[in-house]
Amino acid sequence: MTPRIADLPDDILFIIFARLDCARDLRALALSCRRFHHLVANDGWRIFVRTKFPSLNVPSPASASHTWQQLAESMTWQSRSWDKRSLQFQALLPHAEPRRNGRSRGGNRGLFMSVVDAHFDPASQEELVAWGAGEDLVARCRQRQGPGKASKAAWHKLSGRELGLSAGYDDVKTVKIVQYRSDRAIITGRHNGQLSLLSAEPDRFGEQITLFKPGPDESIESPSSSEQETVNSLDILSSGNRTLIAAAANSSLRIYHLPEEVVAEVAPVTTYDLGEFALGSNSARLGSARWMENGESIALALLGCNNPLRYLARTPTGWTQHAAAKSERVQKEFGIEYSRTICPNSLEPGYLHSGARRGTSLLLSSWRDGTIRLQDLRTPSPFDAVYQDNVDPWSDAESLMAYGAERFLAGGSSSPTIQLFDFRWPRPYHHTSGLSCLGRRRPFPQPHQPFRRRPTCEESDSDSDYPRARCDHARDRRPCRWHDLSRSLYYRPNAKFFLSESLRSLCRDRHTGPGSSSNSVWSLARASDLSPNFYMGISGGVVEANLEEAKTTTAAAAAAAVDPHFGFGDWRGADTAAARVSVGYRTSGRLVPALMETGDGYSFKGNDRSIRLPSLLRYRGRHHRLDVGYQQEVDFLEDEVSD
């Protein structure tokens, strides 16, 4: 009898499932027979998600809210949207009524630096985003009701003025959303040094649960030294049944336990005083701290001293301080200097696989010389690399946010820009694998690459077979020319979104918010790795970014514009009236970005020379590399010729 693939043992079939390139192939296999349908439904989609997106923290399906097949559909949809640069934006700004003389009331509210955090519960499909707006705390909670249905949204605000707080000195400097017992809570750190655990529940939003004391004995604190205890950053470590809080003040690091019971005050379990000797200067201070290696070490960003990137290592006798490892290979290859100034808000751990959680020693950090460095804190590693904007190499990033080992985002320090960086590591999934062959044509349009050479397909044994017009999966799994080049780093350049002009025009027309282009992205936050959206904290408000394909004329394409299982179809301008009445905020509708492809992303020694600037694609297909909003007629008329 002729052997059949359906007769193979399950373990062998699982290996085959893991080797499939795209979800289309797995679905076709599931439709071939009853056994495959049952096997793919029970195990196939789980294997696909875990093998194609190994570095993303994708939780198992919770209750009946979604399935592994729906997870696979959302993750592949999001990957395609990221690759095609299908990002759209809207601003959430304080509302200001114009006066008769043309000036707006409360215009000085645009001076605060917004810090933002977000959380998403896959079981309830509920998202909470909270941000500090000066001395105020603002939050929005919304819940998906299913495809094609409007989401439920509620806005909340804690008014600092009603508590006797003043703008500037009492501003919120850092925000973190945590799970407290069975409820959600928000930890806020203020410029005045106050660190509080506040309720995030709708009926008692902003109610103080616990006050974290700066030390076991408050008598040692004096009013004159309160400014030195400004809380610059917070980081949360959840491991097992414990939750630890690392609060970075100007001259010390405090570690707290999140209390399990309701208590009025909590003292730190550990206080590490950096001291003048450790800092090396009276003017030096601690900018931020991040948990690393599952709590065995803490990364530190210091300002005003030598060795600005350091870490604390846990030992049997306590915490010991060390300078981050310096790699001669990286220093020679990328031409960097370790004595440069670090951006204090830019520390971001890097995870090679989802099982690492916080058990990693790889760290991303941004520096004032325009570089973004990935390095192992303890010892040089083969993963160490240096990234940079190849078009504007002197622009530095104020904040960073990584998506596993897939990509990371960098928020501009001098203007409201967001830049997408590819880690440049081999990726197990490419959305182009599910597309049909495109003959001998190259991916189009041709990207702007200042330093990378245009690639060619691998040569074949037969001249008549080069370049291949169709993939040959049956014989030797050799791709066609278009599929082969689509995986090349040359045709996957980094990209930068500019929001300055659109945001400035919006604020000028609506008489509110910051009208200046010098508007940094102070913080970046996303609710989870499943979320197709993220948030940017800017001066005077928040910008929400969503993966959304540009609308086309067909109804089917319009319905598929957002993530089918985790996207909010009514996210743009949703519930503006309720936000304006309850918290004094409004959603702007849409910001119109300009896109620039910025090259390979690696730092080059010769990147200080003048290069040709790429085109700015104003937001205004089939195998086109970019979203339909950036497509131009000339892209489809180019006559591509083989090399």
Residue 464 predicted with pLDDT over 60: no
Q: Which residue has the higher pLDDT, 448 or 158?
A: 158
> What's the pLDDT band for 106 if we cut at 50, 70, 90?
very low
- Of 518, 634, 600, 601, nearest in space to 110 by CA: 518
Q: Which residue has the higher pLDDT, 597 or 463?
A: 597
Residue 357 predicted with pLDDT over 90: no
Residue 194 predicted with pLDDT over 80: yes
Asked if 106 and 211 sit in the same domain, the reply is: yes
Residue 336 predicted with pLDDT over 80: yes
- The answer to the question of residue 15 being in a domain is yes
What local confidence, expressed as pLDDT, does residue 225 receive?
Answer: 40
> CB under 8 Å to 326, separation ≥6 — which residues?
338, 380
User: How confident is the model over 532-536, as a mean pLDDT?
Assistant: 97
Q: Which long-range contacts (CB under 8 A, 24 or more apart) does 43-46 make?
A: 43/10, 43/14, 43/17, 44/17, 45/69, 45/71, 45/72
Asked if 235 and 120 sit in the same domain, the reply is: yes
Residue 262 predicted with pLDDT over 90: no
Output the average pLDDT for the chain: 84
What are the two backbone dihedrals, phi and then psi, of residue 556, each rounded to the nearest 5 degrees?
A: -65, -40
Domain boundary among 52, 74, 96: 74
- The answer to the question of residue 80 being in a domain is no
Asked if 204 and 318 sit in the same domain, the reply is: yes
> What's the pLDDT band for 281 if we cut at 50, 70, 90?
low
- The answer to the question of residue 610 being in a domain is no
Q: Which residue has the higher pLDDT, 156 or 216?
A: 156
Asked if 175 and 51 sit in the same domain, the reply is: no
What local confidence, expressed as pLDDT, does residue 545 receive?
Answer: 96
Asked if 42 and 139 sit in the same domain, the reply is: no
At 321, is the secondary structure helix, strand, or coil?
A: strand
> What's the pLDDT band for 27 if we cut at 50, 70, 90?
very high
Beta strand 265-266 pairing with 208-212: parallel
> What's the pLDDT band for 111 if we cut at 50, 70, 90?
confident
Domain boundary among 19, 49, 74: 74
What local confidence, expressed as pLDDT, does residue 224 receive?
Answer: 37
User: How confident is the model over 587-605, as a mean pLDDT?
Assistant: 86
- The answer to the question of residue 182 being in a domain is yes
- The answer to the question of residue 62 being in a domain is yes
> What's the pLDDT band for 633 if we cut at 50, 70, 90?
confident
> What proportion of the chain, given as a percentage, has pLDDT over 70?
83
Beta strand 371-376 pairing with 362-366: antiparallel
- Of 531, 555, 557, nearest in space to 74 by CA: 531
- The answer to the question of residue 623 being in a domain is no
- Of 349, 365, 353, 401, nearest in space to 526 by CA: 401
User: How confident is the model over 606-616, as a mean pLDDT?
Assistant: 67
| Tens of pLDDT, residues 339-351 | 889 999 999 999 9
User: How confident is the model over 189-200, as a mean pLDDT?
Assistant: 95
What local confidence, expressed as pLDDT, does residue 296 receive?
Answer: 93
Residue 102 predicted with pLDDT over 50: no
Asked if 379 and 518 sit in the same domain, the reply is: yes
> CB under 8 Å to 180, separation ≥6 — which residues?
197, 209, 258
User: How confident is the model over 404-418, as a mean pLDDT?
Assistant: 93
Residue 243 predicted with pLDDT over 50: yes
- Of 458, 457, 449, nearest in space to 491 by CA: 449
Phi-psi region at 29: left, alpha or beta (left = phi > 0; alpha = psi -120 to 50): alpha
> What's the pLDDT band for 246 if we cut at 50, 70, 90?
very high
Q: Which residue has the higher pLDDT, 99 or 46?
A: 46
- The answer to the question of residue 250 being in a domain is yes
| Tens of pLDDT, residues 156-183 | 999 999 999 998 899 999 999 999 988 9
Number of structural domains the chain divides into: 2
Asked if 58 and 126 sit in the same domain, the reply is: no
Domain boundary among 39, 74, 109: 74
Per the listing, tokens 């896959």 go with 122
What local confidence, expressed as pLDDT, does residue 595 receive?
Answer: 93
What local confidence, expressed as pLDDT, does residue 620 receive?
Answer: 45
Asked if 23 and 121 sit in the same domain, the reply is: no
- The answer to the question of residue 333 being in a domain is yes
User: How confident is the model over 50-78, as a mean pLDDT?
Assistant: 89
Phi-psi region at 15: left, alpha or beta (left = phi > 0; alpha = psi -120 to 50): alpha
Asked if 40 and 178 sit in the same domain, the reply is: no
User: How confident is the model over 610-633, as a mean pLDDT?
Assistant: 72
> Which parts of 357-462 are beta strand (E)?
362-366, 371-376, 385-388, 397-403, 407-412, 417-422
User: How confident is the model over 559-587, as a mean pLDDT?
Assistant: 78
Q: Name the least confident of 26-30, 56-60, 281-285, 556-560.
A: 556-560
In degrees, to the nearest 5, what angle opens at C-alpha 362 toward C-alphas 360 and 365?
135
> What's the pLDDT band for 493 if we cut at 50, 70, 90?
very high
Residue 8 predicted with pLDDT over 80: yes
Residue 189 predicted with pLDDT over 80: yes
Asked if 128 and 262 sit in the same domain, the reply is: yes
Q: Which range of residues forms the domain containing residue 180?
A: 87-426+494-594
What local confidence, expressed as pLDDT, does residue 510 receive?
Answer: 55
Q: C-alpha 605: how far from its chain's center?
A: 28
- The amino acid occupying position 617 is L
> CB under 8 Å to 509, separation ≥6 — which residues?
none
Q: pTM (2 decimals)?
A: 0.91
Assign residue 353 the CATH number of its domain: 2.130.10.10
Asked if 227 and 277 sit in the same domain, the reply is: yes
- Indicate the length of the chain as a whole number: 643
CA atoms within 13 A on the CB side of 6: 11
> CB under 8 Å to 637, separation ≥6 — which residues?
none
Asked if 134 and 274 sit in the same domain, the reply is: yes
User: How confident is the model over 391-405, as a mean pLDDT?
Assistant: 93
